[in-house]
Amino acid sequence: MSPGSRVAMSRRASAGGPVDLSDSPQARLFPLRLGSAAITGGLWAERQRLNREVLLPRAAAQLEAAGNFDNLRAAARHGAQRFRGPVFMDSDVYKWLEAIGWELAREADEDLERLADEAIALVADAQDEDGYLNSYYQVVEPSERWSNLAQDHELYCAGHLIQAAIAQRRGRDEERLMRVARRFADHIEDTFLRGGRPGTPGHPEIEAALVELYRETRERRYLELAEYFVDQRGHGVLGPGHFGSSYYQDHVPVREATEVRGHAVRALYLATGVTDIYAETGEPELLAVMEAQWRDMTEAKTYITGGLGAHHQDEAFGDPFELPPDRCYGETCAAIASIMWNWRLLLVTGEARYAELLERTLYNGFLAGLAVDGSGFSYVNPLQVRAEHHDPVERGARRQPWYEVACCPPNVMRLLASLANYLATGQRDGLQVHQYAPGRLAADLADAGHVELELATEYPWQGSIELQILETPAEPWALSLRIPSWAADARAAVNGKPVEADARGGYVSVRREWRGDDVVELELPMRPRLITPHPRIDAVRGCVAIERGPLVYCAEQVDQPGHAALDDLGIDASEPLRTETVEHPLAGTVVIKGRGVQARAARWPGSWGYAEHGSPAAVCEHEHTELTAVPYALWGNRGDGPMRVWIPLRS
Amino acid sequence: MSPGSRVAMSRRASAGGPVDLSDSPQARLFPLRLGSAAITGGLWAERQRLNREVLLPRAAAQLEAAGNFDNLRAAARHGAQRFRGPVFMDSDVYKWLEAIGWELAREADEDLERLADEAIALVADAQDEDGYLNSYYQVVEPSERWSNLAQDHELYCAGHLIQAAIAQRRGRDEERLMRVARRFADHIEDTFLRGGRPGTPGHPEIEAALVELYRETRERRYLELAEYFVDQRGHGVLGPGHFGSSYYQDHVPVREATEVRGHAVRALYLATGVTDIYAETGEPELLAVMEAQWRDMTEAKTYITGGLGAHHQDEAFGDPFELPPDRCYGETCAAIASIMWNWRLLLVTGEARYAELLERTLYNGFLAGLAVDGSGFSYVNPLQVRAEHHDPVERGARRQPWYEVACCPPNVMRLLASLANYLATGQRDGLQVHQYAPGRLAADLADAGHVELELATEYPWQGSIELQILETPAEPWALSLRIPSWAADARAAVNGKPVEADARGGYVSVRREWRGDDVVELELPMRPRLITPHPRIDAVRGCVAIERGPLVYCAEQVDQPGHAALDDLGIDASEPLRTETVEHPLAGTVVIKGRGVQARAARWPGSWGYAEHGSPAAVCEHEHTELTAVPYALWGNRGDGPMRVWIPLRS
């Protein structure tokens, strides 16, 4: 291969991606440089195209219509003006600017640059002389800055500003927003860390942003400020609030918090920041509580989709094993936060389980948040919707073009734009592939040299993955491929010769002197699987879910023969499942067929909702039918009908 | 018997109870006069004693401490003062005054009279010259009356004032509060009905109160005002609100509302008022929608305890069959509202199903709302509490002495004080006993004459009920006894001779010339029953509940041998259930024993919350144990441990 084939799409080939741990003492694995990974086809490339061509440009108009830009204009005029929307309106602008930063690192686009530049000018204009920047307080309560940290999201917005500035700088050498962000960060440092003002954000977010700002600037005071906010938490500084102090993780000091509690997005953004601090400081207690929280979450508080949050009322984690499929909250932002946290845990531990949960969340709890045609985003991602389904529009289970609380849409955009950064990592002498998508990966391995490879696959629809070495140094290095836990009988081969490798650690690893035309093949078995829930998950007792590869499946009303009521559908688990690839209307999708068992529940003989066990009044007739399941991520793209992930076992 | 034995405890022997349909054209059954029914022993007599001796006097101090009385004092001073608590604070005072009114009808008490008189003086002082009375608006926003009907409960408070005034008048000839209430009702009539102001209460309550005021005064304009508010509803007059207009039943005109939707207490108070209007006007559409709503509620939206409301977020009915046991709301006030509604439906239709749901609700969803020792009230009444259970204190599942939103405690008090009114009804030539408690019943039957009887039973613990005729005219009349649907094999006898009677209508009825020493015996079978839920109730699939008589049972952690985790308890339904009467600590309670099957879920072999169906990782070991169940109504009186009504079937 010629040197010209190197992937170097970033304007700043040395820039880090969203999480740059290249100098972090605790990193076991290192993210690739920004632009060193690209997704070139398949499901995610299509979503990235949609993001670039539709979501990001349209969001400019949506931010204009909702008043986000007007709020910044009002703040710039320093007079009493009208403010619209919730107090955290600025953060939507920042997340969108962050998304554009990563998107422009993928490929230049004059229209997106112009949109971003206009918004950055607005943000810069709005900043106060002393560096303060929050359009709500500047417009509505200028004398009340920092007076309601529990509810009013000033530090949360500041965190998103910092992340946007980092993306704009790393992605396109844009420095203006970074100057704004640093002035505000310095103001916050003066106010809290230097000024001795107690306080911590009611909604975490700034912690991870400040650590990244430290990584970007190497100014340790930003790391110290992040630590300050983490240390302040858990001492009641935020007050009890409406839902108790656990709502914003203020019920116990962070170093003693072994459970995930309260508002899911807050808990996970905090965990992301704490893990970032651990990556820099190596304080063992921080990793220990992060690992404990992760176990608590995955054993008892995570939906099979990777979705998180069981309560609508406080958008919170439920009690252990409280995982109702219908009242599942599973906010799209919580899925994104979980992906961010798992990525950092993967980097500081090298353990495959974090990459596996990241994959599950990406392909299910996150992907469901975006309509196939980009027409809407979901806020809430339930695992069951019944025939009769009443929900307020805001925070309902249906995808909407925008929301009054519009946290999710630009969050989807920033993850899609930066998604290639989450595929692979490097070490001194190896490259690790954690997620499989058609694309290219490159890394400069300290002990070996420049490596580059191309990945071809139809994953997640098929399990064949082919990696071709494009460039390699003469020195030996290790290529590690993650083997999902559902793929215990995976097979790997190099140039057609089977590899005998121990994948118990979650990776099959081949260390050798590679040549530029070597081909590695990985075959992940894609047999459909029936899944049983833990017996303590009361809400789905007696049911199974269907999975195939990384995808969780669901049944939708539209696929049921004769429109038999989905609410009454069961499954005969003794019959095998089959797969079919459909062309319309979910083109290219592998659907799963099985033997359905339809209860005639409309003819329930009981006089009301209950009847004596074993009596004729308690027995429903059944009939057999064909069951069709489609990927959960694609539900709700063919009308508004009922859906269910968990299907009652019947025979 | 001598004439002196007549029960005539009311000061006003001709007064009606809470619902006086004696002149209502649509009544099929007539409530007994106030004081003509008394509960003299057993479970309910003990609760009434507690109410009289503990709850009612203590509430005076609680209303003082919470600021309810201070708010009225502030309103009386007509100046800008401090207001404490939610906007509906006045209603707590009114419900408590209503309770005292009914309680003093049972028996005089100088202390309660004095407390009531003081509060009535406060209320009278607070009333404005023009009759308006609402301490929140008088103190905080005097110029903004009626400006926020959707949220601000002015009409709701007015309704409770009217009901309190009726109870004070009927119960103890107290006229001052009635003058206050009528002045306010007249002011409301002038403002809305005569003034042509559109509007309807965001929280229904005044509708039933106004109909009762019409019954008390025979002034038809109060009935017309109730109809006005009902007719206004469903045309968007309240705006969409945060949870949509169905939250306050404003999504569809009342005559088209065939489902129960939205906030459960609002929906049920509205239904109570609409049924009251039907009782007076006989408009067929109103009864038709009430029957449709009742079917919708009982087929798909009622917990086995009679509890209502499946959402915490909006305190609302869920979608059909959305009945999670853990996140059950089942507000105590909703149970009370259901009892009030079912009582009216019984009176206007004569159908046993309403008395049956009333009984179920009374013995389960309502009774659970009060601690056995009176130390606290529950707001939320879940059907499952897990070992790890986190909930904000306010609206948590644990009983508290009082609440910031204190609607439930005085609601419990007013129902307990008036409970005897719900036992029996009369017709021209018959007496119907709907609920069984030790006590006395009397009625003046228009076509027969004065009848009086004594009822002896240990119900609900035992199924033997003995009714002794104390007084009877020579003319024949019919004694009807309700046969619950679970007691199809009930047996009845008169003076020891079996009665061959058709109870398919829900009542066994004996018409004869009675003598003063006749004894009727009824034997209701008290075999413990296992209950299966409708197959669409996803949240409790694969489980059974235990019932005996009118009681729903539950398992509590404290009764499990060796403290095996209740979260992992199952039941072997093939083994018979046994009963035992325990002396301590739930004295006199019949508990139920069965064969438990304990899952070793702590040793779940899966790596996270899910595992492949049929694989070793998805299989939990089981062991057999003894299962003990206690009445749901008594849960949480022996510590704070886990509880569950629905028990997984295992073998």
Tally of CB atoms within 10 A around A62: 18
Cα dihedral sign for A553, A555, A559, A561?
Answer: positive
Amino acid identity for residue A337 in this structure: A
Nearest CA in chain A to B326: A322
Residue length of chain A: 651
Q: Is A394 a catalytic residue?
A: no
Task: Sort out which chain B residues have CB atoms less than 8 A from A312's CB and list them.
Answer: 311-313
Residue B305 placed within a domain? no
A564 touches chain B (CB under 8 A): no
The tens digit of pLDDT for each residue in B232-270 reads 999 989 998 888 899 999 999 999 999 999 999 999 999
Task: Sort out which chain A residues have CB atoms less than 8 A from B539's CB and list them.
Answer: 324, 326, 538-539
Residue A311 distance to chain B (closest CA, Å): 8
Return phi, psi of residue B236, to 5°: 75, 15
Residue B208 placed within a domain? yes
Q: If we measure between CA atoms, which residue out of B544, B551, B529, B572 comes closest to residue B635?
A: B551
Distance (Å) of CA A334 to CA A48, A401, A554, A584: 20, 19, 21, 31
Average pLDDT over residues B172-196: 96
- pLDDT value of position A631: 97
- pLDDT value of position B369: 97
B376 touches chain A (CB under 8 A): no
B243 touches chain A (CB under 8 A): yes
A497 touches chain B (CB under 8 A): no
Nearest to B608 among A243, A298, A535 (CB): A298
Check whether residue B54 and residue B184 sit in a common domain: yes
- pLDDT value of position B504: 79
Residue B323 distance to chain A (closest CA, Å): 10
Q: Are A320 and B243 inside 8 Å of each other by CB? A: no
- Coil, helix or strand for A54? helix
B186 pLDDT more than 90: yes
Task: Sort out which chain A residues have CB atoms less than 8 A from B611's CB and list them.
Answer: 531-532, 534
Distance (Å) of CA A467 to CA A59, A351, A438, A494: 36, 22, 9, 9
- Coil, helix or strand for B242? coil
Residue B384 distance to chain A (closest CA, Å): 10
Average pLDDT, chain B: 94
Task: Sort out which chain B residues have CB atoms less than 8 A from A319's CB and list them.
Answer: 326, 386, 388-390
Minimum mean pLDDT range among A310-319, B262-271, B409-418, B557-566:
B557-566
Q: Are B609 and A325 inside 8 Å of each other by CB? A: no
Task: Sort out which chain A residues have CB atoms less than 8 A from B541's CB and list them.
Answer: 541-543, 648
- pLDDT value of position B242: 85
Residue B436 placed within a domain? yes
Residue B614 distance to chain A (closest CA, Å): 8
Residue B583: CB partners within 8 Å, gap ≥ 6? none
- pLDDT value of position A602: 83
Nearest to B244 among A386, A392, A485 (CB): A392
Q: List the beta bridge partners of residue B547.
A: B529, B552
Q: Is A280 a catalytic residue?
A: no
Check whether residue A519 and residue A484 sit in a common domain: yes
Nearest to A261 among B390, B573, B609 (CB): B390
Q: How many domains does chain B have?
A: 3
Average pLDDT over residues B465-488: 96
CA distance A470 to A517: 7
CA distance B223 to B220: 5
CA distance A174 to A102: 12
Domain boundary among the residues B492, B510, B526 is at B526
Tally of CB atoms within 10 A around A53: 14
CA distance A278 to A272: 10
Check whether residue A443 and residue A586 sit in a common domain: no
Cα dihedral sign for A165, A171, A175, A176?
Answer: negative
B244 touches chain A (CB under 8 A): yes
A68 touches chain B (CB under 8 A): no
Q: Are A541 and B648 inside 8 Å of each other by CB? A: yes
| Calculated CA dihedral for residues B50, B54, B56, B59, nearest 10 degrees | -140
Task: Sort out which chain B residues have CB atoms less than 8 A from A243's CB and list them.
Answer: 392
Residue A290 placed within a domain? no
Which of B331, B485, B546, B610 to probe the A interface (max A CBs under 10 A)?
B610
Nearest to B613 among A312, A536, A573 (CB): A573
Cβ–Cβ under 8 Å, residues B640 and B371: no
Residue A584 distance to chain B (closest CA, Å): 30
Domain boundary among the residues A232, A258, A276 is at A232
Cβ–Cβ under 8 Å, residues B460 and B363: yes
Residue A306 distance to chain B (closest CA, Å): 11
pLDDT < 70 regions, chain A: 1-14, 78-80, 392-396
Residue B582 placed within a domain? yes
Check whether residue A437 and residue A553 sit in a common domain: no
Cβ–Cβ under 8 Å, residues B471 and B491: no
Run of H or E residues at B464: strand B464-471
Cβ–Cβ under 8 Å, residues B459 and B437: yes
Annotated catalytic residue: which of A157, A328, A333, A407? Answer: A407
Residue B242 distance to chain A (closest CA, Å): 8
Nearest to B320 among A246, A388, A544 (CB): A388
Check whether residue B10 and residue B110 sit in a common domain: no
Residues of B labelled catalytic: 315, 407
Check whether residue A24 and residue A169 sit in a common domain: no
Tally of CB atoms within 10 A around A616: 9
Structure tokens at B517: 């020493």
Residue length of chain B: 651
CA distance A52 to A109: 9
Residue B465 distance to chain A (closest CA, Å): 24
- Helices (H) and strands (E) counted in chain B, each on its own, are 15, 23
Run of H or E residues at B280: helix B264-281
Q: Is A471 left (phi over 0), alpha (psi -120 to 50) or beta?
A: beta
B7 pLDDT more than 90: no
Residues of chain B numbered 509-548 and touching chain A (CB < 8 Å):
529-545
The tens digit of pLDDT for each residue in B35-89 reads 999 999 999 999 999 999 999 999 999 999 999 999 999 999 865 579 999 999 9
Cis peptide before B460 (omega within 30 of 0): yes
Residue B280 placed within a domain? no
- pLDDT value of position A2: 36
B125 touches chain A (CB under 8 A): no
Nearest CA in chain B to A616: B532
Check whether residue A12 and residue A88 sit in a common domain: no
DSSP assignment, residue B577?
P
Check whether residue B36 and residue B59 sit in a common domain: no
Residue A409 placed within a domain? no
Q: Are A606 and B534 inside 8 Å of each other by CB? A: yes
A572 touches chain B (CB under 8 A): no
Site of tokens 């949960």? A357
Which of B361, B405, B538 to probe the A interface (max A CBs under 10 A)?
B538
Band of pLDDT at residue B15, cut at 50, 70 and 90: confident
In this predicted model, which residue has the larger pLDDT, B226 or A505? Answer: B226
Check whether residue B533 and residue B522 sit in a common domain: no
- pLDDT value of position B10: 38
Nearest CA in chain B to A527: B612
DSSP string for residues in A184-196: HHHHHIIIIIITT
Q: Are A299 and B612 inside 8 Å of each other by CB? A: no
Residue B71 placed within a domain? yes
Check whether residue B22 and residue B94 sit in a common domain: no
Check whether residue B500 and residue B555 sit in a common domain: no
Nearest CA in chain B to A262: B390
- Coil, helix or strand for A519? strand
b or e along B429-440 (b: 16 or more beta carbons within 10 Å of the residue's beta carbon)? Answer: ebbbbbbbbbbb
Residue A211 distance to chain B (closest CA, Å): 31
Distance (Å) of CA B343 to CA A502, B309, B334, B421: 71, 19, 14, 10
Nearest CA in chain A to B395: A243
- pLDDT value of position B398: 85
- pLDDT value of position A586: 80
Which of B243, B319, B527 to probe the A interface (max A CBs under 10 A)?
B319
- pLDDT value of position B78: 61
Q: Are A541 and B536 inside 8 Å of each other by CB? A: no
- pLDDT value of position B3: 35
Contacts across the A-B interface (CB distance below 8 Å): 190
Task: Sort out which chain A residues have CB atoms less than 8 A from B392's CB and list them.
Answer: 242-244
Distance (Å) of CA A64 to CA A98, A163, A405, B322: 17, 21, 15, 39
B557 pLDDT more than 80: yes
Nearest CA in chain B to A300: B609
E strand map for B276-370: none
Structure tokens at B89: 């604070």
CA distance B63 to B90: 10
- pLDDT value of position A8: 40
The tens digit of pLDDT for each residue in B198-223 reads 999 999 999 999 999 999 999 999 99
Instruction: Provide the ipTM.
Output: 0.92
CA distance A291 to B549: 50
Tally of CB atoms within 10 A around B640: 12
Residues of chain A numbered 435-494 and touching chain B (CB < 8 Å):
485-486
Which ranges in A67-88 belong to alpha helices (H)? 68-76
Residues of chain A numbered 330-369 and touching chain B (CB < 8 Å):
353
Domain boundary among the residues A200, A232, A264 is at A232
Q: A434 lies in which domain range?
A: 1-40+423-526
- pLDDT value of position B390: 80
Check whether residue A494 and residue A576 sit in a common domain: no
Nearest CA in chain A to B485: A607
According to DSSP, the β-strands at A543-548 and A529-533 are antiparallel
Average pLDDT over residues B628-644: 94
Residue A458: CB partners within 8 Å, gap ≥ 6? A42, A464
Q: Are B304 and A609 inside 8 Å of each other by CB? A: yes
For the domain that residue B28 is a member of, what is the CATH number? Answer: 2.60.40
